């Protein structure tokens, strides 16, 4: 039997290869992708809309691991929290892709569709339109910061006798295992509680209420 | 007059050059630093404790922009919030350094000293030792996620007619300017409120209380 005739290039293979490179180096170039596929750079451009097109393929690939059923859960806060957990797990598998994806505009249709669903969840739950994107973005900041933290060593602070830090040592020895997970739970609890307050119109620091006003 | 005799290499110049490279590329190698300084790689190693030593010089350099007076403010929540704002500004100036610094253990004496002061602030305010590092790390996740978000375009979602997202369009048009700052304020407000609840022993989701228990 001869080798099956697979096309040298297609969008799936380009996405897989670009993600491999990003997982290794935190960034990629189109010539790097072409070289690894044994193709000419120009041939890659026949399949994707430039480098930005490949970034959006990466975004779709990484975001595909987010469980879409989370946004169907009800009530809204159960859905939002489950989405945040799934979102974190998806990006924790590709921590080096996080800065690239966080700093490029979102154009991938399947990812825009996921934002549409998250926004619909919050609008239908009664959030004011002006509160929706700040809340979703704050959740993403926490989720993606925490996904990067999952790639950090479990022992993140290496104390030395030359710089005495007894209180830090005390706090570290009191912390239980699962450093990154514990911190994520604290941040998520705080954000979800605040989201419930914002929806109820009692959020401290929101609008004209009595709380501290952000500068 | 002849050229002033400045040493070709010292720790300051190594740190400056490594940070330049990281700001451009998100990572660095010791040979890259040496090449840009016109020196041999081996000469760089005479001044620093390997690549890890340079990472810690970078950490000290970036963290030096955090206002140390913030942690002297009182009450504790004013101090913690001011520290978080200054921390975000310091790292927003070097977004490409964030993944590198978040995933390398902290050894720089001046940075460990800053953690010592933050931990002391919270222990003296009455936080249980086991609650301190999760809270500080949750704050850092939010701060660093938000610092990366500051490097993102103001128009982060590019809607297209081919993938209709009317609710996302509604939420985006209701959002005011300063997208990243608004989101950071929401996250910070939520975390600070939660920190006050944890300190008071009323934090939902903490310990044996009535709230949801983290898995």
**What pLDDT, in 10s, does the model give residues A39-66?**
999 999 999 999 999 999 999 999 999 9
What value does the CA radius of gyration of chain A take, rounded to a whole number of Å? 21
Residue A146 has pLDDT above 80, yes or no: yes
| Angle, vertex CA B185, rays to CA B205 and CA B130, nearest 5 | 35
Cα distances (Å, whole numbers) of residue B56 to A157, B24, B64, B142:
12, 18, 12, 22
Cβ–Cβ gap A102/B148 under 8 Å: yes
Mutate to test the interface with A, among B171, B175, B178 (most CBs of A within 10 A): B171
* Separation between Cα atoms, residue B139 and residue A71, nearest integer Å: 26
Residue A208 has pLDDT above 90, yes or no: no
Q: CB neighbours of A75 closer than 8 A, spacing ≥ 6? A: A125
Work out the minimum CA distance from B90 to partner chain A, whole angstroms: 16
- Asked if the C-beta of A142 comes within 8 angstroms of chain B's C-beta atoms, the answer is yes
Mutate to test the interface with A, among B59, B79, B118, B141 (most CBs of A within 10 A): B141
Q: Which of B53-62, B159-168, B206-215 has the lowest mean pLDDT?
A: B206-215
Q: What is the mean pLDDT of residues B51-58?
A: 96
Work out the minimum CA distance from B35 to partner chain A, whole angstroms: 20
* Separation between Cα atoms, residue A106 and residue A112, nearest integer Å: 7
Residue A11 has pLDDT above 70, yes or no: yes
Q: What is the mean pLDDT of residues A151-173?
A: 93
B191 neighbourhood in chain A, CB within 8 Å: 186-187, 190-191
Q: Please, what are the domains in chain A?
A: 9-63 (1.10.10.60), 67-201 (1.10.357.10)
Chain mean pLDDT for chain B: 91
Beta strands in A28-170 (DSSP E): none
**What pLDDT, in 10s, does the model give residues B177-193?**
899 999 999 999 999 99
A172 neighbourhood in chain B, CB within 8 Å: 133
**What pLDDT, in 10s, does the model give residues A184-200?**
999 999 999 999 999 99
Q: Output the DSSP codes for A44-55.
A: HHTTSSHHHHHH
Residue found by looking up tokens 């209420």 in the block: A209
Identify the pLDDT of residue B6. Answer: 60
> If pLDDT is split at 50, 70 and 90, which confidence band does B163 have?
confident
Residue A2 has pLDDT above 80, yes or no: no
B137 neighbourhood in chain A, CB within 8 Å: 149, 179-180, 182-183, 186
The closest alpha carbon to A120, from A62, A59, A79, belongs to A79
> If pLDDT is split at 50, 70 and 90, which confidence band does A163 have?
confident
Identify the pLDDT of residue A8. Answer: 64
- Asked if the C-beta of A182 comes within 8 angstroms of chain B's C-beta atoms, the answer is yes
Q: Exposure string (b/e) for B108-134, b if CB count within 10 Å is 16 or more? A: beebbebbbbbbbbbbebebebebbbb
**What pLDDT, in 10s, does the model give residues A94-132?**
999 999 999 999 999 999 999 999 999 999 999 999 999
Structure tokens at B91: 């790292």
- Secondary structure of B69-112 as H, E, C letters: HHHHCCCHHHHHHHHHHHHHHHHHCCHHHHHHHHCCCECCHHHH
Taken in order B88, B92, B93, B99, is the CA torsion positive or negative? positive
Model confidence, pTM? 0.91
Cβ–Cβ gap A123/B155 under 8 Å: no
Identify the pLDDT of residue A210. Answer: 39
DSSP state of A106: B
Identify the pLDDT of residue A153. Answer: 92
- In total, the C-beta contacts within 8 angstroms joining chain A to chain B are 284
Identify the pLDDT of residue A43. Answer: 94
Peptide bond into A75 cis (omega under 30): yes
* Separation between Cα atoms, residue B14 and residue B19, nearest integer Å: 9
Cα distances (Å, whole numbers) of residue A151 to A5, B25, B52, B92:
39, 19, 17, 20
* Separation between Cα atoms, residue A157 and residue B106, nearest integer Å: 5
The better pLDDT of the pair A206, B123 is held by: B123
Using CB atoms, which residue from A95, A145, A205 is nearest to B145?
A: A145
Per the CB < 8 A criterion, the answer to whether A100 and A58 are in contact is: yes
Q: What is the mean pLDDT of residues B134-156?
A: 96
Q: What is the mean pLDDT of residues B157-172?
A: 93
For B107, the closest chain A residue by CA position comes to: A158
A151 neighbourhood in chain B, CB within 8 Å: 102-103
Identify the pLDDT of residue B214. Answer: 43
Residue A207 has pLDDT above 90, yes or no: no
**What pLDDT, in 10s, does the model give residues B74-124?**
999 999 999 999 999 999 999 999 999 999 999 999 999 999 999 999 999
Cβ–Cβ gap B133/A195 under 8 Å: no
Q: Exposure string (b/e) for B29-41, b if CB count within 10 Å is 16 or more? A: ebebbbeebebee
Identify the pLDDT of residue B176. Answer: 83
Chain mean pLDDT for chain A: 91
Q: What is the mean pLDDT of residues B63-69?
A: 96
What was the ipTM of the complex prediction? 0.90
- Asked if the C-beta of A213 comes within 8 angstroms of chain B's C-beta atoms, the answer is no
Cβ–Cβ gap B142/A144 under 8 Å: no
* Separation between Cα atoms, residue B194 and residue A45, nearest integer Å: 49
Using CB atoms, which residue from A112, A173, A190 is nearest to B157?
A: A112
B73 neighbourhood in chain A, CB within 8 Å: none
Q: CB neighbours of B84 closer than 8 A, spacing ≥ 6? A: B139, B142, B143, B188
Structure tokens at A144: 């993606």
* Separation between Cα atoms, residue A135 and residue B159, nearest integer Å: 19
> If pLDDT is split at 50, 70 and 90, which confidence band does B161 have?
confident
Identify the pLDDT of residue A100. Answer: 94
């Amino acid at each position: 039997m001869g080798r099956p005739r697979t096309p040298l290039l297609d969008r799936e293979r380009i996405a897989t290869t670009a993600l491999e490179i990003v997982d290794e180096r935190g960034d990629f170039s189109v010539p790097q992708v072409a070289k690894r596929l044994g193709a000419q750079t120009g041939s890659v451009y026949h399949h994707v809309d430039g480098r930005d097109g490949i970034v959006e393929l990466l975004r779709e690939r990484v975001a595909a691991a987010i469980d879409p059923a989370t946004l169907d859960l009800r009530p809204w806060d159960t859905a939002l929290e489950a989405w945040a957990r799934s979102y974190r797990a998806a990006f924790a598998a590709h921590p080096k892709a996080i800065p690239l994806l966080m700093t490029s505009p979102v154009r991938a249709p399947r990812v825009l569709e996921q934002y549409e669903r998250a926004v619909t969840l919050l609008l239908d739950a009664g959030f004011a339109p002006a509160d929706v994107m700040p809340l979703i973005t704050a959740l993403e900041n926490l989720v993606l910061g925490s996904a990067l933290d999952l790639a950090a060593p479990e022992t993140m602070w290496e104390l030395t006798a030359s710089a005495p830090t007894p209180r830090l040592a005390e706090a570290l020895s009191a912390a239980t295992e699962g450093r990154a997970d514990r911190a994520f739970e604290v941040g998520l609890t705080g954000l979800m509680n605040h989201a419930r307050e914002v929806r109820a119109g009692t959020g401290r620091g929101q609008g004209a209420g009595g709380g501290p006003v952000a500068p």
